[in-house]
Amino acid sequence: MCRIILLIALMVSPLLLGCAEKPSYSSYTDITVDEAKELIESGKAFLLDVRTPAEYKEVHIKGAYLIPLNELEDRLDELPKDKPILVYCRTGHRSIIAAEILVKNGFSQVYNMKGGIYEWIEHGYEVESGLTR
């Protein structure tokens, strides 16, 4: 009888543990280009472009710091931990991945600009070209 109870307990416990509430982790916040523009103009955010150097050279938002997505995890020490980070890319896909990487690595104020620089340009906001750093 004890063996049957033990066997049942061993079979049921993983199911019960799987239902336990998972710890909540910080997350990033999606924002529109209009909200991103306000955040940039406030001067309170660090603007991170995660596209390629060629894309950045072609066009970027003034003041953006370039760290291509494939280099981000190796260059996290270049980013401020005490300031909001606004991430953008071309259309918003790579910036989601970048935002997740930042959150996973302890950055707590991370914003993803939905629509990327394409949406930024579509709204008529200012951009510049060339390598600025």
Residue 95's pLDDT band (boundaries 50, 70, 90)?
A: very high
0.75 exceeded by the pTM? yes
Cα–Cα distance, 34 to 21 (Å, whole number): 36
Our answer to whether residue 89 is catalytic in this structure is: yes
Residue 6's pLDDT band (boundaries 50, 70, 90)?
A: very low
Q: What is the pLDDT of residues 9-47, one digit of tens each?
A: 444 444 444 444 434 456 999 999 999 999 999 999 999
CATH 3.40.250.10 fits 24-122, yes or no: yes
Residue among 36, 86, 89, 101 flagged as catalytic: 89
Q: Which residues contact 62 (CB under 8 A, 6 or more apart)?
A: 126, 127, 128, 132
Please state the domain extents for the chain: 24-122
